[in-house]
């Protein structure tokens, strides 16, 4: 007898419908799965058999053939366990085949017949066209994100069959309550470091990639983890997009409601290229860059990543997606993320101030060379993070940040920013939202996307600001490429300040300080300024 | 044949470019038999077999015709090491001389015009010298500033300041154009040339590769600057890449040219020791910069001092040893001048309260903007505007996110 069960399989972040055809015929007892199953899919036969038997059904002592159609598509993952088991039951006559019609099934089987959730439930459920989908009960919350009607959950194979046959009720689907967003760390916890705080704010507002350079313990990680809280919430469409990727990657979704918080991913520096970019396995799992889609990718100890792994980041940084090509398939993963990286100034871990480092020159050269120039160039913001001031560390939250008995600086005048305690995330996030809104008025998502050709028109410079940039270019302290990047950052700075009209000197100075020309690349702009091409570019702009 | 129309330097160049021609053979060619030969005579003798060709000895009979290693017709340096089979037999003294002239490369020989007198007097003089630039600078009192390639930033800074101040005082800074200390010394001298004009800033680089082959490659810009403002000298024929045996040989030339050899940093072993030994063999005084006993890069220099080398800590010490007067100028060590500018007297400018506050937060030790904001208690924007103002008027300097009073103690080495 023949039975066909609808299901779906996952390639990349997309589900594809699969028809599971089960044929039970006379012959030597045996069990075969054909149709390009991968290893975990081939194992389905052992799980299905045990689950069928332990659920109180009979395993046919006949020849069982399972075909996964379309046979050209490689199937991976254990999500086909359930349709295979049901197909066997139907083909063997223990279950009426009509009951399976118009329904799709996704789920992994335990040997005792329990249904287990599978990675990618969300895109799998989205892919099936049948009016009703049955998923493991624990995946219902996830499935509900993309489908409201015709969702059924089941906890065990036995109860599922009984529900299909109408002998028992479908398990009650608990309504999803409003999910508490996980709390994120607050910016108010960060003491001092005005420039680094400003860099975070500008990075969030303009989607400028950020590099933090400083010694261990200076608070680079602490700063980076504050960033998701500053970013605006995801739109529902973006949130679904993110949830799909996370589901396909097998990450746990906060059950029930959609998380509107931008994701934050911080892979360890031992990450391989495949882990970072995606690929691997028959179903081509999305990598960390895709899991950080619409959120923050934080690479701590940037220089400890293998250089070739880092260079894979160039395509996603440029195009906002990454294409993984394998023999089985070529898959495009979305990967539009805000890159935040942290590194030491050199291997000895000094604060990088001139003369403080005890590394030899070749050693410093080697350390710098671990991050390639093109990648370094993607960072619009490069900020030195130094050990916070002792007084700022010990100051009570909200109290004045001042070192007791420190000689030198005069007592701060009331009204200076440091006296009001550190700004909490909510205040900064409001400014970020306003800046993003101003960018949207220009028809952009954020100011880092402003093309160079429109800078003059949409971000005019005041005469003073222009003179300032000219001077920096002439002195070789700013490269021609750095000019446009600094200009965009200045626009973000002005947006954050709610400033209208031409960009002022202060905006440009702040952007240059944030741009940190010479940080982590040892002043390459300075030496390259002697190059003819550079001089020409500078001359053409300055004239 | 147009051979006789060539100047003697062309034959000297041709002799030096013969495969296997080393310093010892060249010296023999010119001086063998008591009476010095002219380059033409020497070339004719070698070509005709009256003199043994380079590399010939009892074990290896002379081979004729002689192949001249060609620096490459297309103007690109051809690897001439180990025989240069590709270019053999295709090059002539004329073509070699054309190549040299197109690159402004000059050549001289022992006893020839422009040959440094100090070298000729010493042991093992180079037979032929190639150079680009102004070799007349060697008539100034020459100070060799040498040291390890694996130097510390402090060593680099010392070498930079020695190069800058010695050349400003009228000395010629001789070094090896290598990475590390050598490069910093040259860069210092070039900086003096920028600040004080061509009279100051004399520097001569002695190369182990051909004078038109920058080694290490990342010193290409430095190399060009030294060529333009000083001179680059080499025993190696044009187009020849650096070969390891040439480095000790190069160091002997450095020692032979200098009146004083200053070792800034040296490991327990290293090329600087060749220079020191060559200097001692020539009776050239050796000085060393003392360093921390914990720093591996100062083991060699501290050992030198223990064994009697002169300890120098500043350009003034070196000038005293040479008996030269210091020339006070803008190159005097930063300190009082910068502090004066910081105090408000710089350019007659009276700083406003914000500027004064930022100046108070700055120090000689470089600080980040964050530190300055915290120390001054001013808003970030105001601090940045004030810093830019101060930098423009020379009271502060910012590099790569660090700010300090006056001149920057970092090393702006190319």
Q: Do A106 and A55 fall into the same domain? A: yes
Say what percent of chain B tops pLDDT 90. 32
B370 to A408: CB separation less than 8 angstroms, yes or no? no
Q: Do B306 and B164 fall into the same domain? A: yes
Find the residue in B nearest to A509 (Cα): B384
The lowest-confidence range among A352-356, A502-506, B377-381 is A352-356
Q: Do B194 and B95 fall into the same domain? A: no
B200 exposure class (CB count in 10 Å sphere: 0-12, 13-18, 19+): buried
The whole-number average pLDDT for the span A284-308 is 91
Enumerate the residues of chain A whose CB falls inside 8 A of the CB of residue B384. 506, 509-510, 513
B374 to A505: CB separation less than 8 angstroms, yes or no? no
Q: Do A428 and A462 fall into the same domain? A: no
A517 to B385: CB separation less than 8 angstroms, yes or no? no
Find the residue in B nearest to A497 (Cα): B381
Gap between the Cα atoms of B268 and B289, Å rounded: 14
The lowest-confidence range among A526-530, B39-43, B235-239 is A526-530
B163's CB contacts (< 8 A; 6+ apart) are: B145, B173, B175, B184, B185, B186, B187, B188, B189, B191, B192, B203
A387's CB contacts (< 8 A; 6+ apart) are: A215, A217, A218, A351
> Does pLDDT of A524 surpass 80?
no
> Residue A355's pLDDT is what?
61
Enumerate the residues of chain A whose CB falls inside 8 A of the CB of residue B156. 361
Quote the mean pLDDT of chain B: 80
The answer as to whether A172 is a domain residue is no
Gap between the Cα atoms of B156 and B136, Å rounded: 27
Q: Do B264 and B282 fall into the same domain? A: yes
Of B164, B154, B109, B117, nearest to B136 by C-alpha is B117
Enumerate the residues of chain B whose CB falls inside 8 A of the CB of residue A530. 221
Give the end-to-end CA distance of chain B in Å, rounded to a whole number.
47
Phi-psi region of A222 (alpha: psi -120 to 50; beta: other; left: phi over 0): alpha
Q: Is pLDDT larger for residue A118 or for residue A176?
A: A118
Q: Do A94 and A237 fall into the same domain? A: no
Q: Best-predicted range by mean pLDDT among A46-60, A205-219, B349-363?
A: A46-60
A518 to B400: CB separation less than 8 angstroms, yes or no? yes
Q: Do B88 and B139 fall into the same domain? A: no
Q: Do A429 and A356 fall into the same domain? A: yes
DSSP 3-state of A18: strand
Q: Do B179 and B312 fall into the same domain? A: yes
The answer as to whether A413 is a domain residue is no
Gap between the Cα atoms of A230 and A403, Å rounded: 29
| Residue A337, domain extent | 187-390+421-445
Strand partners, B174: B144, B204
Rounded to a whole number of angstroms, the distance from the CA of A418 to the nearest CA of chain B is: 7
What number of H helices and E strands is found in chain A?
Answer: 24, 18
Q: Do A471 and A507 fall into the same domain? A: yes
**A:510-529 residues touching chain B, CB 8 A cutoff:** 510, 513, 516-519, 522-523, 526-527
Say yes or no: A407 contacts chain B, CB-CB below 8 A: no
| Residue B285, domain extent | 135-322
Alpha helices (H) in A357-477, listed in sequence order:
361-369, 373-377, 390-394, 425-441, 455-458, 463-474
The lowest-confidence range among A314-328, B21-35, B85-99, B293-307 is B85-99
> Residue A407's pLDDT is what?
40
Which residue in the set A509, A519, A530 is minimally distant from B385, CB to CB? Answer: A509
A124 pLDDT band, cuts 50/70/90, is: very high
Domain finish residue from B126, B144, B174: B126
The whole-number average pLDDT for the span A498-507 is 88
B1 pLDDT band, cuts 50/70/90, is: very low
CA angle, A363 as apex, B175 and A383 as ends, to 5°?
110
The answer as to whether B414 is a domain residue is no
Which residue in the set B153, B384, B411 is minimally distant from A509, CB to CB? Answer: B384
Rounded to a whole number of angstroms, the distance from the CA of A129 to the nearest CA of chain B is: 58
Enumerate the residues of chain A whose CB falls inside 8 A of the CB of residue B412. 523, 526
B370 to A194: CB separation less than 8 angstroms, yes or no? yes
For the record, the structure tokens of B413 come out as 């080495």
A195 to B414: CB separation less than 8 angstroms, yes or no? no
Dihedral, CA of residue A156, residue A157, residue A158 and residue A160, to nearest 10: 90
The whole-number average pLDDT for the span B84-113 is 76
Check whether the bond before B65 is cis (ω within 30° of 0): yes
Q: Is pLDDT larger for residue A430 or for residue A481?
A: A430
Strand partners, A412: none
Q: Do A455 and A436 fall into the same domain? A: no
> Does pLDDT of A101 surpass 80?
yes
Q: Do B167 and B119 fall into the same domain? A: no
Residue A208 phi/psi, 5-degree rounding, is -90, 135
> Does pLDDT of B254 surpass 60?
yes
> Residue B339's pLDDT is what?
40
Which residue in the set A412, A513, A517 is minimally distant from B384, CB to CB? Answer: A513
The answer to whether the CB of A537 falls within 8 A of the CB of A482 is no
Gap between the Cα atoms of B8 and B112, Å rounded: 9
Q: Do B72 and B152 fall into the same domain? A: no
Quote the mean pLDDT of chain A: 83
> Residue A291's pLDDT is what?
93
DSSP code string of A37-76: B-HHHHTHHHHHHHHHHHTT----SSEEEEEEESTTS-B-
Q: Model confidence over B180-210: pLDDT tens digits?
A: 899 989 988 988 887 787 788 899 999 999 9
Rounded to a whole number of angstroms, the distance from the CA of A513 to the nearest CA of chain B is: 7
Q: Do A61 and A122 fall into the same domain? A: yes
DSSP 3-state of A214: coil
Q: Do A32 and A123 fall into the same domain? A: yes
Chains A & B: contacts with CB separation below 8 Å: 122
The answer as to whether A92 is a domain residue is yes
The answer as to whether A270 is a domain residue is yes
B179 to A198: CB separation less than 8 angstroms, yes or no? no
Which residue in the set A193, A355, A527 is minimally distant from B370, CB to CB? Answer: A193
Gap between the Cα atoms of A319 and A341, Å rounded: 19
As for how many domains chain A has, the answer is 3
> Residue A189's pLDDT is what?
82
Q: Mutation target for B interface from A353, A475, A530: give the one with most B CBs within 10 A.
A: A353
Gap between the Cα atoms of B354 and B341, Å rounded: 16
A361 to B408: CB separation less than 8 angstroms, yes or no? no
> Residue B221's pLDDT is what?
83
The answer as to whether B329 is a domain residue is no
Q: Do B183 and B266 fall into the same domain? A: yes
A506 to B388: CB separation less than 8 angstroms, yes or no? no
CATH of the domain at A253: 3.40.50.300
A209 pLDDT band, cuts 50/70/90, is: very high
CATH of the domain at A114: 3.30.230.10
Say yes or no: A299 contacts chain B, CB-CB below 8 A: no
The answer as to whether B13 is a domain residue is yes
Alpha helices (H) in A448-531, listed in sequence order:
455-458, 463-474, 480-496, 505-515, 524-528
DSSP 3-state of A302: helix
Please give the helix or strand (H or E) that residue A32 lies within, else none.
strand A30-34
Rounded to a whole number of angstroms, the distance from the CA of B207 to the nearest CA of chain A is: 20
Q: Do A384 and A532 fall into the same domain? A: no
Q: Model confidence over A256-266: pLDDT tens digits?
A: 667 888 999 99
Q: Model confidence over B17-41: pLDDT tens digits?
A: 887 788 888 888 887 766 778 888 8
**A:178-237 residues touching chain B, CB 8 A cutoff:** 192-196, 198, 213
B379 to A417: CB separation less than 8 angstroms, yes or no? yes
Enumerate the residues of chain B whose CB falls inside 8 A of the CB of residue A519. 400-401
CATH of the domain at B382: 1.10.10.10
The answer to whether the CB of B173 falls within 8 A of the CB of B202 is yes
> Residue A410's pLDDT is what?
40
The answer as to whether A407 is a domain residue is no
Say yes or no: A416 contacts chain B, CB-CB below 8 A: yes
β strands within A52-209, DSSP E: 63-69, 103-105, 108-109, 115-116, 132-136, 151-154
A386 to B412: CB separation less than 8 angstroms, yes or no? no
> Residue A490's pLDDT is what?
92
Which residue in the set A195, A401, A471 is minimally distant from B380, CB to CB? Answer: A195
Q: Model confidence over B369-403: pLDDT tens digits?
A: 888 888 888 888 889 888 888 887 777 777 777 88
The lowest-confidence range among A97-106, A496-505, A527-536 is A527-536
Residue B253 phi/psi, 5-degree rounding, is -70, -40
What's the DSSP call for residue B44?
Answer: H
The whole-number average pLDDT for the span B158-185 is 91
Q: Is pLDDT larger for residue B347 or for residue A438?
A: A438
Q: Do A242 and A343 fall into the same domain? A: yes
Rounded to a whole number of angstroms, the distance from the CA of A108 to the nearest CA of chain B is: 55
A245's CB contacts (< 8 A; 6+ apart) are: A13, A286, A290, A291, A293, A333, A334
The answer as to whether B410 is a domain residue is no
The answer as to whether A40 is a domain residue is yes
Gap between the Cα atoms of A436 and A496, Å rounded: 9
> Does pLDDT of B304 surpass 90?
yes
| ipTM of model | 0.72
Q: Is pLDDT larger for residue A421 or for residue B193?
A: B193
Q: Do A468 and A383 fall into the same domain? A: no
> Residue B90's pLDDT is what?
54
With an 8 Å Cβ cutoff, the interface of chain B facing chain A consists of 149-154, 156-157, 179-180, 221, 297, 357, 360-361, 365-371, 373-381, 384-385, 388, 392, 399-402, 408-412, 414
Check whether the bond before A503 is cis (ω within 30° of 0): no
Q: Do B220 and B151 fall into the same domain? A: yes
Enumerate the residues of chain B whose CB falls inside 8 A of the CB of residue A193. 370
Please give the helix or strand (H or E) that residue A19 lies within, else none.
strand A14-25
Q: Do B345 and B309 fall into the same domain? A: no
Domain finish residue from A400, A430, A445: A445
> Does pLDDT of A411 surpass 50?
no
Domain finish residue from B108, B126, B144: B126
Cα distances (Å, whole numbers) of residue B326 to B146, B166, B184: 21, 9, 21
> Does pLDDT of B318 surpass 90?
yes
A409 to B156: CB separation less than 8 angstroms, yes or no? no
The whole-number average pLDDT for the span B63-89 is 43
Gap between the Cα atoms of A83 and A98, Å rounded: 14
> Does pLDDT of A542 surpass 70?
no
The angle, 0 to 180 degrees and rounded to 10, between the axes of the packed helices A44-54 and A81-91 is 60
> Residue B328's pLDDT is what?
52
The lowest-confidence range among A419-428, A483-492, B18-27 is A419-428
A293 exposure class (CB count in 10 Å sphere: 0-12, 13-18, 19+): buried
> Residue A532's pLDDT is what?
39
Q: Mutation target for A interface from B291, B400, B403: give the one with most A CBs within 10 A.
A: B400
A516 to B221: CB separation less than 8 angstroms, yes or no? no
Find the residue in A nearest to B402 (Cα): A353
A418 to B156: CB separation less than 8 angstroms, yes or no? no
The whole-number average pLDDT for the span A24-36 is 90
Q: Is pLDDT larger for residue A475 or for residue B171?
A: B171
Find the residue in A nearest to B400 (Cα): A518
DSSP 3-state of A324: strand
The whole-number average pLDDT for the span B141-162 is 89
Rounded to a whole number of angstroms, the distance from the CA of B324 to the nearest CA of chain A is: 30
Render the burial of B328-355: b for 16+ CB within 10 Å, e for the rest. eeebeebeebbeebbeeebeeeebeebb
What's the DSSP call for residue B344?
Answer: I
The answer as to whether A345 is a domain residue is yes
Enumerate the residues of chain B whose CB falls inside 8 A of the CB of residue A518. 399-401
> Does pLDDT of B173 surpass 90?
yes
> Does pLDDT of A408 surpass 80?
no
Q: Model confidence over A171-194: pLDDT tens digits?
A: 776 665 555 666 778 888 887 788
Q: Do B157 and B118 fall into the same domain? A: no
> Does pLDDT of A435 surpass 80?
yes
A355 to B361: CB separation less than 8 angstroms, yes or no? no
Q: Mutation target for A interface from B299, B364, B370, B406: give the one with most A CBs within 10 A.
A: B370
The answer as to whether B51 is a domain residue is yes
Say what percent of chain B tops pLDDT 70. 81
For the record, the structure tokens of A347 come out as 């291997």
Rg of chain A, C-alpha, whole Å: 29
Q: Do B210 and B314 fall into the same domain? A: yes
The answer to whether the CB of A18 falls within 8 A of the CB of A73 is yes
B88 pLDDT band, cuts 50/70/90, is: very low
Rounded to a whole number of angstroms, the distance from the CA of A353 to the nearest CA of chain B is: 6
Give the end-to-end CA distance of chain A in Å, rounded to a whole number.
84
The answer as to whether A411 is a domain residue is no
The answer to whether the CB of A338 falls within 8 A of the CB of A231 is yes
Q: Do A333 and A426 fall into the same domain? A: yes
Strands B367-368 and B402-405: antiparallel
As for how many domains chain B has, the answer is 3
Rg of chain B, C-alpha, whole Å: 25
Strand partners, A431: none
B370 to A509: CB separation less than 8 angstroms, yes or no? no
């Amino acid at each position: 007898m023949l039975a066909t069960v609808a299901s779906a399989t996952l390639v990349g972040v997309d589900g594809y419908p699969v028809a599971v055809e089960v044929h039970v015929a006379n012959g030597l007892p045996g069990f075969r799965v054909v149709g390009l199953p991968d290893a975990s899919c081939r194992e389905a036969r052992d799980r299905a058999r045990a689950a069928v038997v332990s659920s109180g059904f009979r395993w046919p002592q006949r020849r069982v053939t399972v075909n996964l159609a379309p046979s050209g598509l490689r199937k991976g993952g254990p999500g086909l366990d359930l349709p295979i088991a049901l197909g066997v039951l139907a083909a063997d006559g223990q279950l009426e085949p009509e009951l399976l019609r118009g329904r799709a099934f996704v789920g992994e089987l335990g040997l005792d017949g329990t249904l287990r959730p599978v990675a990618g439930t969300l895109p799998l459920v989205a892919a099936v066209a049948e009016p009703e989908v049955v998923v493991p009960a624990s995946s219902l919350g996830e499935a509900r994100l993309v489908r409201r009607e015709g969702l059924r959950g089941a906890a065990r194979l036995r109860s599922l069959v009984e529900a299909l046959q109408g002998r028992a009720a479908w398990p009650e689907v608990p309504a999803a309550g409003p999910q508490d967003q996980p709390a994120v760390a607050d910016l108010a916890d960060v003491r001092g470091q005005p420039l680094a705080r400003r860099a975070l704010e500008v990075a969030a507002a303009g989607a400028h990639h950020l590099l933090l350079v400083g010694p261990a313990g200076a608070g680079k990680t602490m700063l980076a983890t504050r960033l998701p809280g500053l970013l605006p919430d995801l739109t529902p469409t973006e949130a679904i997009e993110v949830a799909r990727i996370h589901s396909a990657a097998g990450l746990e979704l906060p059950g029930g409601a959609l998380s509107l918080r931008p994701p934050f991913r911080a892979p360890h520096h031992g990450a391989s290229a495949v882990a970072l970019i995606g690929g691997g396995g028959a179903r081509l799992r999305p990598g960390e860059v895709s899991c950080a889609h619409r959120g923050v990718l934080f690479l701590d100890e940037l220089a400890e990543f293998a250089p070739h792994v880092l260079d894979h980041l160039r395509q996603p940084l440029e195009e906002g997606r990454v294409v993984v090509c394998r023999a089985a398939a070529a898959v495009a993963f979305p990967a539009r993320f805000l890159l935040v990286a942290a590194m030491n100034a050199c291997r000895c871990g000094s604060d990088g101030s001139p003369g403080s480092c005890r590394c030899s020159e070749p050693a410093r050269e080697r350390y710098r060379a671990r991050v390639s120039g093109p990648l370094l160039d993607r960072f619009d913001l490069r900020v030195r993070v130094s050990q916070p001031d002792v007084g700022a560390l010990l100051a009570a939250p909200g109290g004045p940040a001042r070192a007791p008995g420190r000689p030198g600086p005069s007592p701060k005048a009331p009204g200076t920013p440091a006296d009001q305690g550190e700004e909490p995330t909510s205040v900064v996030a409001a400014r970020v939202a306003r800046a993003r809104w101003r960018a949207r008025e220009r028809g952009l998502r954020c100011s880092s996307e402003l093309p160079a050709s429109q800078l003059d028109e949409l971000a005019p410079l005041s005469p003073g600001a222009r003179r300032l940039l000219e001077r920096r270019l002439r002195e070789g302290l700013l490269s021609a490429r750095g000019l446009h990047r600094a200009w965009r950052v200045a626009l973000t700075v002005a947006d954050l300040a709610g400033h209208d009209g031409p960009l002022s000197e202060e905006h440009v100075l702040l952007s240059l300080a944030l741009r940190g020309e010479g940080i982590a690349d040892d002043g390459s702009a300075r030496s390259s300024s002697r190059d003819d091409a550079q001089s020409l570019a500078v001359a053409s702009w300055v004239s | 044949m147009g051979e006789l129309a060539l100047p003697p330097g062309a034959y000297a160049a041709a002799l030096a470019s013969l495969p296997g021609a080393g310093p010892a053979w060249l010296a023999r060619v010119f001086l063998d038999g008591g009476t010095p030969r002219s380059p033409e005579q020497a070339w004719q003798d070698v070509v005709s077999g009256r003199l043994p060709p380079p590399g010939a000895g009892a074990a290896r009979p002379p081979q004729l015709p002689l192949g001249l290693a060609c620096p490459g017709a297309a103007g690109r340096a051809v690897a001439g090491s180990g025989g240069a089979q590709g270019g053999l037999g295709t090059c002539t003294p004329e073509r070699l001389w054309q190549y040299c002239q197109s690159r402004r490369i000059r050549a001289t020989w022992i006893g020839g015009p422009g040959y440094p007198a100090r070298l000729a007097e010493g042991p093992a003089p180079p037979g032929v010298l190639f150079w680009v630039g102004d070799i007349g600078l060697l008539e100034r009192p020459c100070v060799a500033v040498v040291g390890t390639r694996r130097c510390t930033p402090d060593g680099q800074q010392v070498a930079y300041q020695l190069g800058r101040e010695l050349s400003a005082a009228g000395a010629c800074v001789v070094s090896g154009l290598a990475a590390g200390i050598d490069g910093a010394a040259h860069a210092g001298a070039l900086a003096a040339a920028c600040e004080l004009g061509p009279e100051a800033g004399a520097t001569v680089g002695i190369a182990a590769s051909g004078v038109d082959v920058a080694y290490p490659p990342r010193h290409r810009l430095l190399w060009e600057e030294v060529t333009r403002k000083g001179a680059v000298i080499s025993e190696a024929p044009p187009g020849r890449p650096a070969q390891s045996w040439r480095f000790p040989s190069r160091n002997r030339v450095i020692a032979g040219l200098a009146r004083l050899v200053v070792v800034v940093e040296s490991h327990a072993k290293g090329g600087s020791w060749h220079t020191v030994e060559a200097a001692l063999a020539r009776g050239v005084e050796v000085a060393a910069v003392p360093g921390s006993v914990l720093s591996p890069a100062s083991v060699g220099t501290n050992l030198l001092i223990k064994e009697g080398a002169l300890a120098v800590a500043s350009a003034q010490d070196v000038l005293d040893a040479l008996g030269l007067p210091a020339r006070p100028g803008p190159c005097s060590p930063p300190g009082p001048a910068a502090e004066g500018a910081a105090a408000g007297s710089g350019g007659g400018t009276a700083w406003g309260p914000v500027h004064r506050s930022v100046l108070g937060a700055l120090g000689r030790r470089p600080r980040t903007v964050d530190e300055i904001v915290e120390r001054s208690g001013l808003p970030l924007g105001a601090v940045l505007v004030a810093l830019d103002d101060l930098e423009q008027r020379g009271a502060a300097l910012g590099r790569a996110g660090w700010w300090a009073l006056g001149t920057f103690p970092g090393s702006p080495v190319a």
